[in-house]
Amino acid sequence: MRVGDIYETRIDAMGASGEGVCRPEGFALFVRGAVEGDLARVRVTKLNKSYGFAALLEIVEPSKSRVEPQCSSFGVCGGCAMLNIGYEKQLEIKERIVRDALERVGGFSEPDVFPIVPSVPNTHYRNKAQYPITPRGAGFFMRASHNVVSAQNCALQDIVSAAVLNVTEEYMKKFGVMPYDEKSGDGIVRHVCTRSGKSDTIVVIVTNTSVLPYEHEFVKALTERLGTRLCGVVQNINKERTNVVFGKRDKLLFGRRFIMDNIGKINYKISYKSFYQVNPHTTLPLYEKVLELAAPRGETVFDLYCGCGTISLFLARAAREVIGVEIVPSAVKDAAENAYINNITNVRFYEGAAEEIVPQIISDKPCGVVVLDPPRRGCDKSLLDCVVNATPKRIVYVSCNSATLARDVRVLCDGGYTLKEVHPFDQFPHTMHVETVVLLSKGEIDSKKVRVEFSLENMDMSGFQKDATYGQIKERVLEQTGLKVSSLYIAQIKQKHGIIERENYNKSKSDNTKQPKCPPEKEKAITEALRYFGMV
């Protein structure tokens, strides 16, 4: 194979950045704009040792998964890599991304990946926006450049964000307020940002100057457009020659510097700099899953990278105590206030980098559960070592980056933990990102094998047999038959017997979705296990 060679080939997979993958002559080529299932003509543009890149020349036969993108900037803007792929296919691809990362990066064999939880709706879901304002326009940066494309018909941002961008552009044009030029350092407005809750929206305008010209007119225009939804307008001042969005100083122009929102029964105050999940439609089931897997049962929980306390307060309902660690000062302040707002007294928050703070505090308390929710780069190795040394019974890891998730989970498992369950959530529809929650449990107690011998003959097993977990059922099947069974297969057989615990395990997300059916020999083994545990 040489650069310039042309092939007619089938696209048989999707790459992590949204490129189609084909394998002419058995060699992997990444093709931007191609979709899994396409029959395409491609031209080789670059070759590396084990893979290469190709340009899409022609779609000879389009994939059945292809759809018309809902945005005129698709393919130019780098935000929505899968907007031209049907949603059900996107979910299938994302499940595969998580599984492949665990297998290839983490070295896990047949990881127990549950069906992905979809986002309903899957468009206009983002409650946060950051629009760069430049002399060449306002919107989003093009892929791999600092040029911008229009964001007016973005399929991901909520309609409130689009309205704020319109108001900002109209205000700047009317009053001659110049955009910031990163090359010369001249101009005033650098970004306009929004953050919304169910009924609140805060607007942050980032400027290169201490004074925002005609600030009252800007606030008035926003108030007229958004009405009572507008809860605050902040001018953030950033005079640095940097691509960091926010500066260290800000000035309140109207209302307050935060929004109020709720997830389930917990109310939250969220400052504009604090981390907050961007898709409200999947956040509640995501946090409920974290609570279910953590199962604190009156134990002490360490919530690392806790943000404004969203997960911490969820866990506090069942934990003896929750200790949160977060590096962003405003988020720590919000977390403490959120605990006060909800009258939750069994939480404490520490400010600082988790890898620096945790070693100082985790050894002072018996640690039952650790929750990790790091940024995309994952956890520092020293922090993972510290967690392993603390020997919590369970670790729940929440991640939006499958590769760093797999890398870190491997470190934890090498330290004596076992990967139990993997739950993907489509927190970012139409992008290649997947939010994933995994459960790890400790296989042994302080490396000491404890042998206990007793008789089950005269014991009443019914009290706990009804609560047999998926893991217990799998272990029983493996022990008795040597067969490995998935959670999906167990869910199917439980449904046959009228046992329906979690609907998304048992039924597909659409009538057209094909899920593998449990083979007869595994059905027989699972049924025997259900009988053993007194469930049927």
What's the CA gap between 44 and 3, in Å, rounded? 5
E strand residue ranges, 345-486: 347-351, 369-372, 394-399, 417-425, 435-442
Radius of gyration of the chain (CA): 26
What's the CA gap between 521 and 451, in Å, rounded? 33
- Cβ partners under 8 Å of residue 185, min gap 6: 208, 241
- Cβ partners under 8 Å of residue 454, min gap 6: none
Q: Which of 379, 400, 413, 518 is catalytic?
A: 400
Distance linking the first and last C-alpha atoms of the chain: 59
User: What sign has the CA pseudo-torsion 412, 415, 417, 419?
Assistant: positive
What's the CA gap between 302 and 323, in Å, rounded? 5
What would the 3-class secondary structure string for 62-118 be? Answer: CCCCECCCCCCCECCECCCCCCCECHHHHHHHHHHHHHHHHHHCCCCCCCCECCCEC
Strand partners, 130: 193
Instruction: Give SS3 for 153.
Output: coil
Report the Cα 221 to chain-centroid distance in Å. Answer: 34
347-351 sheet: strands from edge to edge: 347-351, 321-326, 300-304, 369-372, 394-399, 435-442, 417-425
- Clarify whether 400 is annotated catalytic: yes
CA dihedral 250, 253, 256, 260 (to 10 degrees): -90
User: What sign has the CA pseudo-torsion 332, 334, 340, 344?
Assistant: negative
Instruction: Note whether 203 and 194 are within 8 A (CB).
Output: yes
Active site residues: 400
